[in-house]
Amino acid sequence: MLQNLSLDSHIQASINSWLTGNYDESVKAEIKHLIADNNVTELTDAFYRDLEFGTGGLRGIMGAGSNRVNKYTFGAATQGLSNYLKQLYRNQPIKVVIAHDNRNNSSILANVVADVFSANGIFVYFFEGLRPTPELSFAIRELGCQSGVMLTASHNPKEYNGYKAYGADGGQFVFPHDEAVMNEVGKIASVDEINFHGNPANIQSIGKEIDEKYLDALANLSISKDAIHRQRDLKIVFSPIHGTGGVMVPPALKRFGFENVILVEEQMVIDGNFPTVIYPNPEEAEALTLSLAKAKATDADIVMATDPDADRVGLAIKNDDNEFILLNGNQALCLLVNYMLTAWQKAGKLDGNQYVMKTIVTSYMIDKMAESKNVECYNVLTGFKYIGEIMTQLEGKKTFVVGGEESYGYLVGEHARDKDAVVACCMFAELAAYYKDKGSSLYSTLLDLYVEYGFYKEKLISITKKGKAGAEEIRDMMDNYRNQTPKALGGNTVVTLKDYKSAVSKNMLTSVSEKIDLPSSNVLQFFTEDGSIITARPSGTEPKIKFYCSVKAVLPSKDQFEEVEQALETKLTSMLKDLGI
């Protein structure tokens, strides 16, 4: 049957191994159906490689095949992780936590993961229903576990699912543990090496008792309790976009003292098909359409929507014309950092032993704010696991205040080692209450920050390149940028090229190079003479290449905001054109 299809020999061999191996008949039937339909494209993408267990775990399209999310790819990942944990914690009892979001097949796959762990003699705490990623991170630490797994594909389309692997600190694995786990997963050469026969005695259901401890930890982070009490009727529109935020965000807001939370009922329905949105991504304006309509109808004060696993949150606030505008992740984080540092300063808690954290593609206005308060700001590679890594290294030595990344992920407090949209929703509601109580607003405060620190305008451009051909095209784009670095962008000379893959920062004017003291990553940053920055980075979890753009200018006064913003937008467009975007 395969001989009639124009497939590479290694793809044919992979398909044959699935058709003849110890796989469920339903899986074999799905493959045979693709063959009968002569679907060469789908077969190629499903079998041209093994779904890669990367530094953050797995993420991919659900279906049959070695490059798909299914019980066998998740089973192999769990068997490899089990093998590693038993090596690392030799002759010790090992405990893990498993949670999942609302995606199709998540509960089924979570049970597969629990079975494989338990079959390997590892004790499993299994959340009784869907829970947010940050609560999983909290539970690992709270229960003294050595690892944890979250089944989620975050904000990817409905066809996707994923597997995030965590270490004993509650953060995703970092070097050298990430590579060690990857190696063990890579050693699983056959489905017959996976122990799917679970041991129920090694599995314990958990739920409300952890929920209460998690909510208590968040409520203790509140700063402006009096302002919240006076503004307890603040109108908050919230949507979980069919996901886990609906489980924890409303009770967390109530715990903070907010009494007027208006839910987007259509999106409170748990549904892995995400029927009310194109993509369940709060970074996209479309995903907040229903939330904004509800906010306008109720004259709300603030709009918040979380992604399916509730580690990211999108926000909308009112401008001076009483119209709702969407904040990007940089703007939201700048407001949050300013609020936290100012409050800590007023309370006399900034003694030089505090720090904030962000990624290299997140607004450098945060660096300026931290410097003004004599607080250290750490810059790390994209990926919240690097923030979690530094937090663990500094635990007990310095105090983490707040951190985040431009992709709508934020963390306040040290209860977790991953971004937490549940606490972020509570804190952004608190910010809205605090400034309203002072007769101001989040929008006015943002413009004040631009006047004080400079107007930083950031923009993210994502270009999707699907399948094997798309991956090759993205690779070629990065190679061209490295080998034929543009001399100028938007009429401004490129003065520095930072190549995080080779860990080299090169002065383009003098050709002098310096070492970058960060892990290797396929990222390029172009710095121009006027302080603009464009970062090119292929996504590690999606078939995309992303361009993070930052331009800045002086904002003499708030009433010149629109004029300066237009000038910055024009500059940004010109710079991207020079990169062929």
Would you please indicate which residues are annotated as catalytic (active-site) residues? 154
Provide the angle, in degrees to the nearest 10, between the axes of the packed helices 365-372 and 442-453. Answer: 80
DSSP-based three-state secondary structure for 81: helix
DSSP state letters, 366-427: HHHHHHHTT-EEEEE-SSHHHHHHHHHHHTTTSEEEEEEETTTEEEESSS-SS--HHHHHHH
Torsion of CA 213, 218, 221, 226, to 10 degrees: -100
Q: Are strands 147-151 and 160-166 parallel, antiparallel or unpaired?
A: antiparallel
Q: How many residues are there in the chain?
A: 581
Task: Name the nearest CA neighbour of 357 among 391, 393, 408, 407.
Answer: 391
Q: What residue spans of 192-324 are helical by DSSP H?
A: 208-219, 225-230, 245-256, 289-298
Check: CB of residue 423 under 8 Å from CB of residue 413. Answer: yes
Burial of 40 (0-12, 13-18, 19+ CB in 10 A): middle
Task: Name the nearest CA neighbour of 244 among 152, 329, 360.
Answer: 152
Check: CB of residue 78 under 8 Å from CB of residue 160. Answer: no
Tokens describing residue 445: 């405060």
Rounded Cα distance between 445 and 290, Å, is 26
Tokens describing residue 22: 């110890």
Cβ burial 311-349 (10 Å sphere, 16+ → b, else e): bbbbbbbbeeeeebebbbbbbbbbbbbbbbbebbeeeee
Three-point CA angle 152, 390, 138, nearest 5°: 45
Residue 85's identity, in one-letter code, is L
> Per the omega criterion (within 30 degrees of 0), is the bond before 240 cis?
no
- Cα–Cα distances (Å) from 37 to 24, 30, 538, 574, in that order, read 21, 11, 33, 46
Phi-psi region of 322 (alpha: psi -120 to 50; beta: other; left: phi over 0): left
Rounded Cα distance between 180 and 388, Å, is 19
Task: Name the nearest CA neighbour of 329 among 197, 421, 254.
Answer: 421
DSSP-based three-state secondary structure for 292: helix
Task: Name the nearest CA neighbour of 221 among 487, 431, 492.
Answer: 431
List phi, psi (to 5°) of 461: -115, 125
